[in-house]
Each structure stands twice: as C-alpha cells, then as structure tokens.
C-alpha cells in the first residue's frame, strides 16, 4: 500500500486523500462508539459484512461517500483505557472479533474527555475520570488542539465529530444560548448554562468540523451554535439516534394514521442494564431522554388526545441489550377498542453502530457538497430530527431517497460533462 509508483497508483492516492474522512467520537470508549469502530475495523478486514449500514447498501449506491477503508477514527473519553479493553468489557462484540481487531483498536488515540458539569451520578460511575480542563475556555482550547493534532496525525482534512457520550441532565437555561456573542461571553465567564455538549459542539464547529449529535443531550441545538455553524459553513445532524422503540413507534403510528384507527394510549417501557441505564436512573438525566422519545406521536397522528407514557428503567440482567415493551390501545369501527403489544429485544450498541457509521459518512459527504446547518434529509436517523418536524419514518425515508436521487443526478451530470 505504501510503495505506489505508477500513474494509476498516484491518482488513487490523491483520490483517497480527497475522500479520506476523520471521525472523532465523543465518548469513544463507550458502548456505542467503540462498537461502531470495532465493527468497522472487522468489516474492513472482511470478517463480517457491515450489516445495518445503509451507506453500504444499494440505497446509497452512486453516492460519493468516504470508503470504509479511508476512515480514520479518534476521539475523547473520560476513561483512558485501551479501546480493546473497553470493547471487551461492554460484552457486545464477540471475543473472536475483539481479538482480530485488537491492534487496530489500540492504535486509536483516546484524548482525555472534558466534563463541564460533573454531577454526583456521573462521578459515581467513573472511577478515575481524567478531566482535561477546569474552565470553559480551557476546555475549548484543549478540544480544538486535540482536533488539530488528530488532523495532523491522521493526515485528514475533513473531520466529523460525533457526540456519543452518555445522557446529561437537562441543561438549565441562560443567556449564553441566545447568540454567538453571548455564548462567547458565557465561555469567558464559565456560565453554568453551557454544558458539555455545547463545549464539544463549539470546539468542533469552530475547528470547521461537521457535527453529529447522536444523543438526547443539548449540544449544537442552541441558536448561538447554529449561528456559528452557518458562519463556519459546516453541516449539523441530530438529535438522538432512532434505534429501537422510537424506530418502530414511528413505523406503527403511521399505520394507525393511514387506517384511521384512533389512538387512545401508548404505554412504553424500556429496560436496560448498561452505563446509559445507570445514568438514566437519575431522574434529572432520565428526563432528557424521555423528552425526545415522547414528542413523536402527536406530529404523526395529527391529534393529541391520547395517553403517551414512556418509562426507562435500569435493570442489570439486561446489560447492553435494551428491551422494550409497548402496549398500544386504539379504536376502530363503531368505536370498538382493540390493542397491540410489542416486545423488542434489541441490543443498543448493535443497533446504533451502523447509524453512527452512516451518519459520519453522510455528513462528510454533505460537507463536501457544501451543505451547512441542519440536514433535514437525515431525519430518518433521529428521534428529534433537525430541520423538520417530520417523524413518520416512511416520510423520512422518502425525503432521504429524494436527497440521494438529487446527489446522483448532480454527479451523473458532472460525469457526463467530464466524459465529453
């Protein structure tokens, strides 16, 4: 791979450089991020197919996406253990796969994570956090420097930062969110309304990186950072990956809608036993998550006179496997009540990983195409999508396909021009 002498080889290298993409993950050793990386490395070695990644499927054929082989991974974590240790401890990836990609995993540099608002729940979970900064300004400076180092080390120009940390408490409101000037004042003054996610978002966007919020946390959603993204010409995608219960909820609710079956109630409970579950046990953290889960039904159905309850409970035996149970009550002809129950036995990181991979590549593509700000075409990936109120999964799919068609049409035109 190194000794390339022919003309063709050089072109390939140039092309690779152009499409080479850096992916920095916040919470890189967490279950979601590390499973994404381990699986991508395994797919790169041909050990498994990248099952679940639609950027590898016919649906995305013809898009000028960064090849799997060109992705460079990095990121931050408050736990600096080697990534192979973290992956092993999560217990999601099989020992065989971990063994096969151990070296690749441990080559990845894990920068010390920053935690602006270290509350008691987080403190309890992290035995020896290496927090990299004491003030907001210091934190931002460290993060920007980390990104610059990563670019140099990995020889990548474009970097997507994907926020995969655990769920924060719902942030307090404050003047810093309003606009960029206020935010920068807030940084200087260590304003308490600036949370972790905003610090990462500010640093990433400042450094010209596209940003994906895969969590329910508040990051670049505040007006101040949207202003910055527009100024910096970077695209943003979020929020909160639609992996399990909300996925099928936004699939089944449209069925009720089309068939005019009137929803009377939807009870949803979730049990999970990983760190995310432990964090969500703290009601102040849990509220953040439940919020993005609850908003979807009214928009799809066009009415709101039903009970919608969402529970998330920590339950150790489940581990990273995330089980859900839903009870759905509806009425049909002659107002007759009927019901449906769903029991989902998924595995959180396994469902999330291909979405993280897809998002990094699709946002990378969007940045190359000059898109900036919210990317509504990616709504199908999120519980609470940017730039649209559309929650119906199939309408979101239609939007995504239209976008792909548009990209193909442009590329097709360019190609035919080039071939003249």
- Within 313-332, which residues bind its own copies (CB under 8 A)? 313-318, 323, 325, 327, 329, 331-332
Query: By CB under 8 A, which span of 108-116, 142-150, 153-161, 247-255 interacts with its own copies?
Result: 247-255
Taking the complex as a whole, how short is the minimal distance between the CB of residue 68 and its own copies, in angstroms? 13
End-to-end CA distance of the chain: 33
Taking the complex as a whole, how short is the minimal distance between the CB of residue 263 and its own copies, in angstroms? 9
CB 107, CB 114: distance < 8 Å? no
335 belongs to the binding site for its own copies (CB under 8 A):
yes
The strand pair at 110-112 and 262-272 is best described as unpaired
Across the beta sheet with 21-26, what order do the strands follow? 110-112, 71-77, 21-26, 158-163, 210-213, 235-238, 373-374
Instruction: List the one residue out of 402, 398, 372 whose CA is nearest residue 387.
Output: 372
Query: By CB under 8 A, which span of 168-176, 219-227, 246-254, 360-368 interacts with its own copies?
Result: 246-254
Alpha helices in 2-90 (DSSP H): 7-19, 31-44, 83-90
The strand pair at 321-331 and 307-314 is best described as unpaired
290 belongs to the binding site for its own copies (CB under 8 A):
no
Is the CB of 56 or the CB of 79 nearer to its own copies? 56
Taking the complex as a whole, how short is the minimal distance between the CB of residue 161 and its own copies, in angstroms? 21
Residues binding its own copies: number (CB under 8 A): 74
Taking the complex as a whole, how short is the minimal distance between the CB of residue 159 and its own copies, in angstroms? 23
| Residue list 49-108, contact with its own copies (CB under 8 A) | 49-54, 56-57, 59, 92-94, 97
Q: 298-333: b or e for each residue (b if 16 or more CB lie within 10 Å)? A: bebbeeeebebebebebeeebbbbbbbbbebbbeee
Count CB-CB contacts under 10 A for residue 389.
12
| Residue list 225-244, contact with its own copies (CB under 8 A) | none
- Encoded one letter per residue, x for contact with its own copies by CB under 8 A and - for no contact, window 174-213 reads ----------------------------------------
44 belongs to the binding site for its own copies (CB under 8 A):
no
Return the residue of 65, 252, 301, 375 that touches its own copies, per CB under 8 A: 252
353 belongs to the binding site for its own copies (CB under 8 A):
yes
């Amino acid at each position: 791979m190194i000794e390339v002498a022919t003309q063709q080889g050089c072109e390939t290298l140039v092309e690779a450089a152009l499409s080479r993409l850096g992916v920095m993950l916040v919470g890189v050793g967490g279950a979601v991020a590390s499973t994404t990386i381990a699986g991508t490395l395994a797919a790169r070695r041909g050990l498994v197919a990248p099952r679940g990644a639609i950027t590898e499927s016919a649906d995305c054929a013809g898009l000028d996406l960064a090849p799997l082989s060109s992705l460079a991974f990095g990121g931050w974590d408050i736990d600096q253990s080697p990534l192979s240790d973290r992956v092993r401890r999560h217990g999601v990836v099989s020992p065989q796969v971990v063994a096969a990609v151990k070296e690749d995993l441990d080559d990845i540099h894990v920068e010390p994570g920053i935690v602006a608002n270290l509350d008691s729940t987080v403190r309890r979970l992290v035995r020896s956090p290496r927090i990299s900064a004491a003030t907001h300004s210091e934190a931002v400076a460290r993060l920007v420097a980390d990104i610059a180092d990563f670019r140099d080390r990995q020889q990548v120009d474009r970097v997507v930062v994907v926020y995969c940390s655990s769920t924060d408490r719902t942030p307090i409101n404050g003047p810093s969110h309003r606009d960029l000037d206020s935010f920068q004042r807030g940084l200087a003054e260590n304003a308490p309304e600036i949370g972790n996610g905003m610090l990462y978002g500010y640093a990433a966007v400042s450094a010209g990186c596209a940003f994906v919020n895969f969590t329910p946390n508040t990051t670049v959603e505040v007006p101040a950072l949207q202003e910055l993204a527009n100024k910096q010409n970077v695209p943003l995608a979020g929020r909160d990956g639609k992996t399990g219960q909300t996925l099928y909820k936004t699939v089944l609710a449209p069925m009720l809608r089309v068939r005019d079956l009137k929803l009377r109630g939807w009870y949803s409970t979730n049990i999970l036993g990983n760190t995310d579950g432990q964090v969500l046990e703290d009601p102040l953290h849990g509220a953040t998550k439940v919020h993005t889960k609850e908003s979807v039904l009214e928009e799809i159905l066009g009415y709101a006179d039903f009970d919608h309850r969402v529970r998330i409970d920590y339950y150790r035996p489940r581990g990273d496997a995330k089980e859900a149970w839903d009870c759905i009550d509806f009425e049909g002809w002659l107002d007759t009540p009927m019901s449906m129950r769903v029991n989902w036995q998924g595995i959180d990181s396994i469902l999330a990983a291909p979405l993280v991979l897809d998002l990094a590549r699709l946002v990378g593509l969007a940045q190359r195409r000059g898109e900036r700000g919210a990317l509504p075409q990616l709504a199908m990936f999120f519980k609470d999508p940017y730039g649209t109120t559309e929650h119906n999964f199939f309408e979101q799919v239609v939007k995504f396909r239209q976008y792909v068609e548009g990209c193909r049409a442009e590329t097709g035109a360019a190609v035919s021009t080039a071939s003249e």
